[in-house]
């Protein structure tokens, strides 16, 4: 479905036909805000990307792509081919990074602090790389793409299309006074559709929990 079809369906569910260019623009604006809301709710699996940063000798700070929300996992890669190794690098907080006595120590990076800045996230590795032999491999959450001019296909997994339409209808009804009586019903449908889609959009791997019992 392209965005025009999504907007038409949402307007009809809200109780009106989409008749003007402004109707399309206000729906597009609501969709962009709603997808940001989804990213605040949690992980959307179709927005996970893999990327890399080549670490340079003596350089501790590196910028991530501007559409990066956060990193999920990261490793330090050394070597290539059959000699390639992925080594653990731990993510630390600003407090832990601030407490490091000498932030200019060199060696293989073992810790990473992410500054989640306004324009794009920035990473700080420690120790500072002592050579050009390291690559940071990461798995990130990226932003859902905006609706653009309104004719593009939505950047959305097909399982979320019913949720997208239901949520857009709810947001449209909130902005039109004469549709106010439908807001409660549309909100209930939106919440139901989001719970169904989010429940399906998850990792399906076995998990094992082992209690840690200490001795006294």
Residue 81's pLDDT is what? Answer: 83
Q: How many CB atoms lie within 10 A of CB 95?
A: 8
Q: Which phi and psi (to 5°) does residue 88 adopt?
A: -65, 140
Residue 1's pLDDT is what? Answer: 79
What's the rounded Cα separation, in Å, for the pair 66 and 91?
A: 20
CB 95 within 8 A of CB 70: no
Would you state the structure tokens that stand for residue 35, as one six-digit string?
């997808």
Residue 208's pLDDT is what? Answer: 64
Contacts of 16 (CB under 8 A, 6+ apart): 176, 179
Block means of pLDDT (10 residues each) for the chain, 216 residues, are 90 93 92 91 88 96 95 92 90 95 95 94 96 95 79 80 95 93 95 91 68 60
- Of 104, 100, 93, the closest CA to residue 127 belongs to 104
């Amino acid at each position: 479905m392209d965005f025009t079809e999504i907007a038409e369906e949402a307007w009809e569910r809200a109780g009106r036909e989409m008749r003007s260019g402004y109707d399309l623009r206000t729906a597009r604006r609501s969709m962009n805000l709603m997808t940001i809301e989804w990213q605040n709710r949690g992980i959307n699996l179709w927005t996970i990307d893999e990327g890399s940063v080549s670490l340079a000798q003596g350089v501790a700070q590196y910028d991530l792509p501007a559409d990066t929300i956060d990193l999920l996992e990261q490793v330090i890669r050394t070597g290539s081919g059959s000699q390639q190794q992925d080594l653990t690098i731990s993510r630390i907080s600003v407090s832990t990074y601030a407490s490091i006595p000498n932030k200019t120590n060199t060696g293989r990076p073992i810790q990473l602090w992410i500054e989640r800045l306004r324009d794009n996230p920035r990473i700080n590795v420690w120790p500072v790389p002592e050579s050009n032999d390291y690559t940071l491999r990461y798995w990130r959450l990226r932003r859902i793409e905006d609706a653009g001019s309104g004719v593009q296909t939505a950047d959305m997994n097909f399982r979320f299309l019913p949720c997208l339409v239901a949520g857009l209808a709810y947001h449209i009804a909130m902005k039109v006074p004469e549709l106010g009586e439908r807001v409660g019903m549309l909100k209930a449908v939106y919440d139901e559709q989001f719970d169904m889609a989010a429940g399906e959009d998850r990792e399906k791997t076995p998990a094992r929990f082992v209690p840690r019992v200490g001795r006294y």
